[in-house]
Structures are given as structure tokens and as C-alpha cells.
Chain A
Amino acid sequence: MAELKVNNLSKRFGNHQVLKDIAMRCRTNEIVGVFGRNGSGKSTMLKCIFGTLKADTINLAIDGSGMNPVDIIPSGKIGYLPQESFLPKNTKVKNAIQMYFADERRQDNVFYAPGINEIVNKSIKNLSFGQLRYFELVLVSFLDHPFLLLDEPFSMIEPLYKGLIRDFLIGLKEEKGIILTDHYYWDVLAVSDKNILIKDSKAYLVHDEDDLAKLGYLKKNNLNNDSKNC
């Protein structure tokens, strides 16, 4: 079982301390949900772990071995689904799969993933937002990284694809550790094993929506309404 440990993660933009001494741990077979209001530093935290944003301080270890964040990308230990689409628009879905996977058997795994068959001959630019998000998730997930960082995979997705993504993530965690951030807290809580909330640059452990309400991420009234809707 692989383990990703983050300690002492701090990041400041000018005078604004976004993250301070954040610590978290994620193991394979585990989904960690990360909540926080807009600008609280969720995406910043993921980028610092992935190494595309330089943290002021960070101690990163995978399976007990310390790693410099700049070595994360070449090491292939962590995959990252950014908030905005990252696929070249003029590429066909089929070609993107072939470009990501040299091995034909692995290409087939992606081709036969639920929902992919319907879009395989389309160009990336012709996919709906839900199709694109789901395809990006599938593409990144079938790579060999033991850990995945997912930045808002549920945002603005129609219910059909939300269900597909939820089922896919539950299946995926059998072999990967996943850190997942999203404002759609019901979707995150439905798949996560543990959760943290980032507030005032610090991380708090939360278990359910009541904890989120206590820490001011949700209003009590909204919570009741959302519960009724679900």
C-alpha cells in the first residue's frame, strides 16, 4: 500500500497567507475530500503538491521517501486533473488515447471504459463539458500514477456524468490514492473516506456536513434544504 504524506505546507501570495503548516496523508485505497470556500487555497495546495506551484515550505514523502516537489512530475507518482480542460482542442478523442498509451491493450481499457465508446470518434472541441471532464478523468486515471489529485471533477457536470464519475472513482480507489476537491460536497462525501476543510489557511478534519456547517463552510439552513433535496 503506497502512502503520500504532506507536512508543513505553507504558501503566501504577497501579504496573504493562503496555507499555513498544512499536513495531510493519503494512502492507496483511500479518497480524501478537501473542502474550502473560494480562494481558501484548495487548488493552490494541489498545485504545490504536484510541483507546478512553488510552496514556501513543504515536506513531501511517498512511501516514506522524502521528495522534492520538482521531482514529482518526472517521477510519475502523481497524476493531476486541473480545474480547466488540459486536452489539445484539435485532437480527436481516439488520438488522445493513442498518444497517452503506447500499449494497445491499455488503449482498449480506455476505449471500453463506460461512456467512452460514444465519444471516441469526436473531436475534443465537440465534446460537451460533462463528456470532456469525464474523458479527462478516465485518461489520467488509466496512467500508472499511484496517486491522483482531482481539482473539481464534479463542477458543472450534468447528473448522468456525475453518476459515472462517482462510480468510476469508487472503482479507481482500489488501486490508487485520490485527493479530491470540489464545492459539490454531497458528491465528495458520497465517495470520500476522510475529509479536510481548509479555513483561514489551516486544515481541519471533518466527518460530515454537520462538521462543515460548524466550521462555517455551510449554513445550517442550506444544510437542511440540501438534505431534503437529496
Chain B
Amino acid sequence: MKQIIVDGLKYRYPGAETLALHDVSFEISKGELIGVIGRNLSGKSTLCQSFVGLVPHFYRGAYGGKVIIDGIEVKKSTIREMSRIVGMVFQNPFTQISGSKETVYEEVAFGLENIGVRRSEMIERVEQALEMMDMERYKDRSPFDLSGGQMQRLAIASMIAMKPQVIVLDEPTSQLDPQGAEDVFQAVERLSHEGWTVIVVEHKLEKIAQYADKVLLLDGGRRVDFEIPSKVFSRGDLEKHGVTAPVYTRVCRALDCRMKDSDVYPVTLDAACEVLKKCP
């Protein structure tokens, strides 16, 4: 069964003249890692907010179509209920730290305390979340004494301790240095291998190409494509939709070197290297 079904989703913010999302449909299976790409204002963040119910319950506006997550229709549910199913992490790690806890460990426990989880279960869930994010060694540190990448992994750990079914990350690495960004993506990949469904909005297309199972390309609030990365990034009209292909793909395209027995270009360093070595 599909875990997320988006069917004919249309949405217009109050007072806006144009639709932010225009008849968007796709389905996601449990455990898939989905990259959402597109130019700014293409509808990526609005789509993220439609999973957790901020669209339409908080922003109001005109809404049509359906978003169904784990069998629950978002429009008929509440933000409160949806936020137990869908966990979100935003761009800026600083704004997601509570500021009231002295250690990383307590910070991860904070959300669980708020919903009254038993102590023994709390300890188990905090330790599991820290391990998943490779953050155990920082558990006694102050959250403000972390690098950007560590802080973002702390934000993700705090969210996964709440055990959501779906994880939505809106440009989680934009403020991080290269090492921090890579660490976050490796952590996200572990989540997906553990069976979590992950949706990540990202401008770093090399990372999406490397880690995502599928890519959703949006433009002007419409779905342009929803396919495996090599298919999306091999589209000839990508730039028309405000996106450039990864460097590796652009090099292979310029030399017309395609993947073996296929009409798509490679999208990762290793695949490009292999293809270019054999390409006449």
C-alpha cells in the first residue's frame, strides 16, 4: 500500500491570485527517499506544508484534491494529529533548538516529555535517535556548542524520537559546510534504510542525484516529473524549468555519453566516471 497519496492537489494562499499548487498528483511507498526540486516559488515548501496540515488548516486559502498519509486524509484531520505522523525539519538549525535545555540529550527528550512518554521508554527513544543521527558522543554537550551540521542532526534526532511515520526536510543543508551537508545526507539515508519515508527539498542536486530514490520536479506549482534521478536529470528541458543537472550529467550530455543500454545520462560521480571511460 502506498504511504502517501497526493491526488489532484490544488492550493491557493489567501489573497493570492495564482495557485501555489496546481493539480499535483503522485504516490510514495513506505521507506522511499524522495527529493523535491524546482526553482524558488515552484511550490516545494507549500507541498511540504500540505503533508503536516499547515496547508490548509493554518494558512487557510482555497484547497482542492486530496493528500492521504497512512490512510488519513489531511484535510479532514488536524495539524495536531498530522504532526504526530509527519515530522518536519527546516532550513535554519538555530531556530529549531528549544533553547531551554542544557544538553543534547535533554533536548532530544524535550518533545517526549511534552507528550508524557514513560521514563524508561523515553530513555530508549532518546538513545535510539541519537544513535541514528550519529550524535551519541555529543549527548552531554550544550546544543549551542555544536557545529551547524551537528545542530541540524540534533533537530532531526529530536524529531525522530517522536516516531513520526514520514519525515519532511525543507532545505536541511543550505546553511551547512560541505562536510556538515554530507553528514546530514548520510544520516537521512540511514533513516530511509530503516524504513522511514523521507521527503527532502534541496537545491544541492548532486546530493539528490546520489541519495534519492525518486525526484519530484515542480515548476509553477505543477508536477513536471516524478521519476528516478537519472531520468529527471536527463531531461533536455531541465533549464527551462529553472534547474540545472548535476555537473556529472552535464559533462556526459555534452559528449553524448549515455548509460549502458539506456537513453539516460549518469548522475553521480562513479556512474559518470564509468560511462566516460568507455565512451568513444
Q: State whether these chains interact.
A: no
B residues engaging A (CB < 8 A)?
none
